[in-house]
Amino acid sequence: MNQRNDAHIAETAEQIGQSAAADLGARPKDQMRRTVAPKIEAAVAQREALVAELTSEPVLGVPAEVAQEDPNRVTITRVRNHPHTVAYLKNANANLKLIGYTEHGRRHAGLVGHIAANVLRRLGFPAREIELAEIAGYLHDIGNCINREQHGQSGALLAKDIMFDLGMPIDEVILVMGAVGNHEEERGHAVSTIAAAIILADKSDVHRSRVQNADPTTFDIHDRVNYAATRSFLRVDSNGERRMTLELTIDTEMASVMDYFEIFLSRMVMCRRAAEFLGARFGLHINEVAVL
Ligand SMILES: [Fe+2]
Ligand SMILES: [Fe+2]
């Protein structure tokens, strides 16, 4: 009798212990999911709204002097609506999402094109270069539909076919290809004003709305840093000393400034060189403190 009771007590204690341990393990994760999930949902809604804004007509308006000079030129609208652009970008983002990367779809493409064009416009570069920067920005990550490795080079070649199909002249095609093929920090260089603008725009896009992983308990450092960034803005000052400042607001409960530098230091070095190519200084402000 005593023996049977002992066995029963031991078994019950073990069950209680196991369920308590399971609870202990699950509770913080569930709490984290409950706290963060609505914020991710809000960020996804923000991403969708941004896509609508960035891809509605017209994006930037057509610079009048270029439109008059060459009304048949290849515009960002024609490139964006080309069926190959649509398919490459859709699949590039799907592939990267599958292997755990942040958003690289229409939101990122549209934003990079938009920021790159803005950089050149604010610094007073010619109107057609501004348009080509927007095209290169929109196409810069399509190579990810082939592979993440060397997606700059593969993307440049995919972009070439689209641009030739639309009738773009070879000198413009080469400029866009050079910019797309030089945007990766592992092997890219600011080889032209357009390439420099793409580098600055691409590396500036750090934002909560890029996180595609809906489960915060499995965030990697890229998810955490992007999730922590609630605001990113590339300010371009062209009065007096030319200066570009990346202004970030980071929720330091989610990621530290050190986390940011762990993954973005090489990108910031690339941005500094790109800004210098455009005759400007590069600065980084995090939570209103100048860190670079
Ligand atoms: Fe890229
Ligand atoms: Fe990119």
- In this predicted structure, what is the pLDDT of residue 58? 46
- In this predicted structure, what is the pLDDT of residue 65? 64
Out of 29-43, 120-134, 157-171, 219-233, which region has the weakest mean confidence (pLDDT)?
A: 29-43
- In this predicted structure, what is the pLDDT of residue 282? 97
Tokens of 63: 């610079």
Q: Tens of pLDDT along 246-281? A: 999 999 888 888 888 888 899 999 999 999 999 999
Residues with CB under 5 A from ligand 2 (ion): 141, 202
Average pLDDT over the chain reads 87
Residues forming a β-bridge with 234: 246
- In this predicted structure, what is the pLDDT of residue 149? 96
Residue 82 pLDDT exceeds 50: yes
**152 CA distance to ligand 1 middle (Å):** 6
Look up the CATH number of domain 39-290: 1.10.3210
| Prediction pTM value | 0.84
H/E stretch holding 281: strand 281-286
Residue 212 pLDDT exceeds 50: yes
Dist. CA 156–CA 173, nearest whole Å: 9
**43 CA distance to ligand 1 middle (Å):** 21
C-alpha closest to that of 96 among 142, 153, 65, 47 = 142
Dist. CA 147–CA 130, nearest whole Å: 28
Dist. CA 255–CA 58, nearest whole Å: 37
Residue 181 pLDDT exceeds 80: yes
Query: Which of 5-9, 13-17, 20-24, 194-198 has maximum average pLDDT?
Result: 194-198
Q: What is the CA radius of gyration of the chain?
A: 24
Which ligand is closest in space to the CA of residue 184?
A: 1
Which ligand is closest in space to the CA of residue 102?
A: 2
Dist. CA 235–CA 116, nearest whole Å: 12
Backbone angles phi, psi at 243, to 5 degrees: -145, 140
